[in-house]
Every structure is written in structure tokens, then in C-alpha cells.
Amino acid sequence: MQEKKYLIIPNNKDLSLYEKYNLDSFVLPLEDYSIGFNVYYNIDEINELSKNYNIFVIMNKFLHLQINEFKKIYDKFNKNIKFIVEDIGLLNIIDKDRVILYENHILSNYKAINYLNSLDVKNVVINNDLTIKEIKEIKEKTNSNLYYFYIAKNIIMYSRRYLVSNFNNHFDIENDTNKYDIEEIVSHKVLEVKEEKDGSTVRYNKIFCASKYLNDLSDLNLIIDLTDINEISTKMILENINEENLYNLIDSDYYFLENDIKYKVGDLK
């Protein structure tokens, strides 16, 4: 077992590839209930893997009427499996001790976390756009079990629209891609738009990596999302997973860990 709790979202379906790095906890995107990942798993696969690994299922879609379908399949999952969920309605369905609430980039303060704790929602994913100072304050002032996207090409937008095929259809572009890298023409920042059958996600193309503050984050459950990270960087991450210097070894970005973000025009210098 690793000294620290790393939870891996794989970019390759064969989990045995990660065994040599002594990793045994995985976050598996559930087919049809999650979006924006490289690989998805069905219930049978998840149950089978849960015999050998610590398995968390991630469901990051808003479920609309589909939530009624989940009610029917929930009991089919092995009891040792936990669920990381975006749709708040799932809190009514999944047992409280098996659910981790993940409102992407939303849960950003200690009072909200403590209130959820009082509702028996004791496992939560905190926003990873917070500063390290904010994270430390949250740690000091909460007793919840905190999860944190420690390394990831962050999903920075989630839409129910078909943002690749709509563009292609509009311009009569014939290709079979479901993904575009788009560069904003002023800032030159690059975003990765990916379309799937239930909508689209946008990821930032630089890898958020909080390794510089690994010691400060050590008592959090650290999620490493390898989605859309190339083979070389994936290898670098896995080989140096316990190194504070990891952020220097990959094309990383940790701006928000060290900089407050403004929201009023008057605050911008």
C-alpha cells in the first residue's frame, strides 16, 4: 500500500499496468453515467475489479430522468464500492457512507463542508482552484473526509451540447473526430473540447499538479486523473508520484494554488 492515499482515474483500461507503481485504489468512470474520460467501465467490470482493488465509481453527469435507471442498478454493485457523484439527487439513493459528493469547482469553503457533514455527507471533493491557504483553513476547520483532484487536466466546462459535431456540421467539415484542441486568440491558452454521446466537456490542456504542496495535502485523499495525459507524462507522474518536485517534470500549472482569483472588474490590476 502507498503511504499516501492516491486514487487513480486511469487512461488505460488495464489496471494491472498500475500495479508496478504499488497503486491499488482506482476511480472508475461508470459507462453512461460519466463524461469526459478516456475509459469507461460497466457494472460487471467494476464488480470484478473490486475483488482486487479499492474501487470508487465516478458519476460526473447530471442525470435528468436517467437517475431513475440508477435506482434500479445501484444494488448490483458490490458493497465495498464507493461512489463519487456530481448529481446531488444521488445523495437520496446511495448510502451515505458510500458516497463522496463531487460538485466540480463548487465546494469552496469550510462552512459548506461542515453543513454537509451535519447532513451525514461526510465525504466531499473540494474545489482544486483554491489557494493552498484556503485549503489549509478548510482542513483546520472541518472534520470531513476530504478528496482533492491533485493531478489532472481539469474539466473546466461541462455542457449538454454537442460542441464538436455542431461545429463540424455547421461548416460541413467531414472528419470523425470527437475532440478539438482550441486556442484562445488573445491569451493563447489552449482548451480541449471533447464530445461524447451525452454532451461535451472542456479540459484545460496544462496538467494541474499540486505536488509542490504535497506535505500540506498529505491527509487528503488525492485523486490523480490521468485522462488525456500522454504516455510520457503519465509515466513521469506514476514514477514520481511521491515527489514534491513532480510539477517540474511535466507540463504543469498550479497558478490557483498560489494566487487569489478576482471577480470584480475593479479588483483587477
Partner 1 sequence: MKYELLLPAGDLNRLKFACMYGADAVYIGGYDYSLRANANNFSIDDIKEAVTFAHSLNKKVYVTVNMIFHNEDLEKLDDYLISLDNIKVDAFIVSDFAVIEAIKRLKIKTPFFISTQKSITNLESIKFYKSLGAYRVVLARECTREDIKYIKENIDTELEVFIHGAMCTSYSGRCVMSNYVTLRDSNRGGCSQVCRFTFNNNTSHDYAFSSKDLNMIDYISDMMDLGIESYKIEGRMKSLYYIATVASVYRNIFDKKENNTLTQDDIEYSKKLLNRVSNRENIAQFYNGIPHEESQYFNGRQEVSNQDFLGLVLSYDESTNEALIEQRNKFSVGDTIEVFGPHTNTQKFNVEYIINSDNERVDSASHAQEIVKIKIPFKVEKNDILRVEIM
Interface residue list for partner 1 (CB under 8 A):
62-65, 67, 87-93, 104-116, 118-119, 129-130, 134, 137-138, 154, 156-163, 165-167, 169-171, 173, 180-187, 189, 191, 193, 199, 202, 204, 256, 259, 261-265, 268
Tell me the residue type at 36: G
By C-beta, is 20 or 269 nearer to partner 1? Answer: 269
Where do we find the cell 514514477?
239
By C-beta, is 8 or 116 nearer to partner 1? Answer: 116
Minimum distance from residue 142 beta carbon to partner 1 (Å): 11
Minimum distance from residue 102 beta carbon to partner 1 (Å): 11
By C-beta, is 21 or 110 nearer to partner 1? Answer: 110
Minimum distance from residue 110 beta carbon to partner 1 (Å): 6
Q: What cell does 264 get?
A: 470584480
Question: What is the rounded distance in angstroms from the CA atom of residue 101 to the CA atom of residue 85?
Answer: 5
By C-beta, is 158 or 213 nearer to partner 1? Answer: 158
By C-beta, is 15 or 86 nearer to partner 1? Answer: 86
Minimum distance from residue 66 beta carbon to partner 1 (Å): 8
Q: What cell does 261 get?
A: 482569483
Within 8 A by CB and 6+ apart from 149, the residues are 125, 128, 208, 223, 225
Minimum distance from residue 212 beta carbon to partner 1 (Å): 19
Pair 57, 81: CB distance under 8 Å: yes
Question: What is the rounded distance in angstroms from the CA atom of residue 156 to the CA atom of residue 228?
Answer: 14
By C-beta, is 20 or 264 nearer to partner 1? Answer: 264
Q: What angle do CA 190, 192, 196 make, to 5 degrees?
A: 165
Minimum distance from residue 107 beta carbon to partner 1 (Å): 8
Ordered DSSP codes for 38-57: S--B-HHHHHHHTTTSEEEE
